[in-house]
Amino acid sequence: MLIIFDIFGIMLSFIQSNSEISTENIPLFPPRVPESRSPDILTDLLEPMGCCGSNPVDEEEHLDYSSGNVTLITDLKSWEKKLEDATDANKTLVVKFSAVWCGPCRIAAPAYSELSLKHSDLVFVSVDVDELPELVTQFDVRATPTFIFLRDNKEIDKLVGGNQVDLQQKFEPYCRPGDEVMSKQSFEDKT
């Protein structure tokens, strides 16, 4: 540790002795945080590096489910309404916890939309983990995508990850007799 400080001291002495370089331009570590806001050193260090908020995906608001029958849940009021509607209709509610920036979530979105069309007896919703952290905590979501099946306001099944074959197989027990179920082969052909 002393060696690092000695090297830093030598460099600082050199810079101070050089008339063209000013010590005012040397970045401080950790960076100084204005007193008006709480320190978030990690964000302050990563943002200038382009690690946070620099992905073009961040400009999108939600994943695209327009080809299916999936409701985007953007606030707690709409969540409570959809939960109540599914319970009153005696239907299973399928919740996909995802994020715009999540690659596997983006890949799973078209399959989830297609499943929503094939299984009209189920209610499909999507929750962005960044918009509703309360639900993330409530359902102990630790990875995206996570699919949770609810019946009568109780969790009855859960799938973590975006494996499309596993996702398809999860739906089979919740199909009503006579509903068309995609075969494993036809599901793989679409991916």
Q: Which residues are catalytic?
A: 102, 105
If you count them, how many residues does the chain have? 191
Same domain as 103, residue 11 = no
Same domain as 81, residue 141 = yes
Calculated CA dihedral for residues 84, 87, 89, 91, nearest 10 degrees: 130
CB 119 within 8 A of CB 110: no
Same domain as 45, residue 65 = no
CB 184 within 8 A of CB 135: no
Work out the percent of the chain whose per-residue pLDDT is above 90. 48
Chosen domain end from 29, 49, 69: 49
Average pLDDT over the chain, rounded to an integer: 73
Can you give the chain as a three-state secondary structure string? CHHHHHHHHHHHHHHHHCCCCCHHHCCCCCCCCCCCCCCCHHHHHHHHHCCCCCCHHHHCCCCCCCCCCEEEECCHHHHHHHHHHHHHCCCEEEEEEECCCCHHHHHHHHHHHHHHHHCCCEEEEEEECCCCHHHHHHCCCCCCCEEEEEECCEEEEEEECCCHHHHHHHHHHHCCCCCCCCCHHHHHHCC
Residue 77: which CATH number? 3.40.30.10
Sorting pLDDT into bands at 50, 70 and 90, what band is 177?
Answer: low
Same domain as 171, residue 89 = yes
63 vs 105: CA distance, rounded Å: 8
Q: Determine, yes or no, domain membership for 56.
A: no
Q: How far is CA 6 from the centre of its chain?
A: 45
Same domain as 123, residue 90 = yes
Find where tokens 């090297």 sit. Answer: 7
Q: Determine, yes or no, domain membership for 160.
A: yes
Q: Determine, yes or no, domain membership for 163.
A: yes
Same domain as 175, residue 84 = yes
pLDDT at 45: 41
Domains: count for the chain: 2
With CA atoms as reference, report the closest residue to 183 among 166, 167, 163, 168: 168
Same domain as 119, residue 185 = yes
The model's pTM: 0.61
Q: Determine, yes or no, domain membership for 125.
A: yes
Cα 38 to Cα 26, 41, 43: the distances in Å are: 23, 9, 11
For 140, the domain range is: 61-189
Mean predicted confidence (pLDDT) in 12-40 = 49
Q: Determine, yes or no, domain membership for 54.
A: no
Same domain as 100, residue 9 = no
Same domain as 116, residue 31 = no
108-133 confidence digits (pLDDT tens): 999 999 999 999 899 999 999 999 99
Residue 43 has pLDDT above 80, yes or no: no
Same domain as 179, residue 97 = yes
Sorting pLDDT into bands at 50, 70 and 90, what band is 62?
Answer: confident
Work out the percent of the chain whose per-residue pLDDT is above 70. 60
Same domain as 137, residue 85 = yes
Q: Determine, yes or no, domain membership for 55.
A: no
Higher-pLDDT residue of 157 and 17 is 157
Same domain as 44, residue 65 = no
